[in-house]
A and B are shown apart, each in its own frame.
Chain A
């Protein structure tokens, strides 16, 4: 069974540029999470979906962040006009129906100069 995949693995931007991160969850997993992990900190939830619906996006740091999962499978997280404070690793995780465990992808390490 393939795990959670993410791309790109690394991104380096200047302030003000936009960037998108892509996540392919484990096949059949209905719930998908995006986490932000600043350097030397634990992951913090940004948003999560059940199928194509956004269940909770209240922890997105600003309206510069948006996330979609249009067909209930793959998901895209986008940052408009990135800032240095957005520098972090962005992790995607998925969970199957009725399960408790989340499975994580390798993450995208973002550096904003």
Chain B
């Protein structure tokens, strides 16, 4: 059974600091998704990583994918309070273009002033 694990589950960080969220998955997949969820809100798509070595950046967030290690990272640079949210990674359940997603456990990020 495909498992998607994130760590840490909770991250409290100060503004201006850097940190990385890790997403490990247990079977092969050619794509990986990152979503953001604010409290009481739906999911906002951040990144879709489609190949080994893929790197995408948007503002203070940068995501990368290593399909051989079955690992994706979401790196936060110089955090600001507005980044406080829960971040989920997700993997296609069947490793391909089914869009049936298995979500990670989520990482609750709290950026302190």
Do the two chains belong together in a single complex? no
Chain B residues within 8 Å of A, Cβ to Cβ? none
